[in-house]
Structure 1
Amino acid sequence: MSILDHVYTATFVMLSLAALFTVLRLVRGPTVLDRIVCLNAVSVLVVSFIAVEAAVRADTAYFGLLVTIALLGFVGTLTAARFAERRAHDRG
């Protein structure tokens, strides 16, 4: 096992812990904006998982998927934030 294998393993462990804590915050988040931020963090973590897996396999076929998920996460976050802003504005 090379040092790079240990680095990949440590990266997957840290990303898994980050995903666990983010999902816990997503479930417990007291406000809608907290949940929006957590969903954005989850999409970033998914992109990170796929990027590390692409590096492990040394395969460039995943880059289209990476860009697609990143754009969907960004647009989804913008849409949810705009909805939350309008909802707060309507309430007064």
Structure 2
Amino acid sequence: MNTVWTISAVMLIAAIAITMFRLLAGPGTLDRLVALDTFVAVTMCSIGTWAAYSLDTTVTYSLTALALISFVGSVSVARFRVRDTDRADGEPQ
């Protein structure tokens, strides 16, 4: 059973690393927003995996808090974001 926990931990670490690359290298704000949402989802998966591994259900309350904060944050950014300008004249694409 330890093999399963090790494999899941390695996969979650790889997902975090790939997501952090996209978060730092994303050319636009929406790319970074999607990466941030993915980062929170992988974090929630990590917390759920830890809860299953340690048989400790007290950490599951943080899953609810992360889900609510992530949803509200994503909706707020998507609603009030300003268009990115990629052209030299300042016009949006």
Question: Is 1:74 aligned to residue 71 of structure 2?
Answer: yes
Q: Name the one with the larger helix percent.
A: 1
Computed over aligned residues only, the root mean square deviation of the Cα atoms, in angstroms, reads 1.4
- Find 2:23's aligned residue among 21, 26, 36: 26
List per-residue Cα deviations over 1:11-38 (Å, max 9, x = no partner). 1100100110100011000010000000
Corresponding residue for 1:35?
A: 32
Runs of at least 4 residues off by over 2 Å: none
Higher relative contact order (CA 8 A, sep 6+): 1
Distance 2:39 2:33 in 1: 10
Work out the number of aligned pairs and report it: 85
How does the TM-score come out when normalised to structure 1?
Answer: 0.86
Deviation at 1:63, TM superposition (A): 1.3
Give the % identical residues.
35
Distance 1:12 1:82 in 2: 35
Distance 2:67 2:9 in 1: 19
Q: Please, which runs of 5 or more residues in structure 2 have no aligned partner?
A: 84-90
Q: Please, which runs of 5 or more residues in structure 1 have no aligned partner?
A: none
- Secondary structure of the residue aligned to 2:56 is coil
Distance 2:45 2:34 in 1: 16
Distance 2:75 2:9 in 1: 28
How does the TM-score come out when normalised to structure 2?
Answer: 0.85
Distance 1:75 1:28 in 2: 24
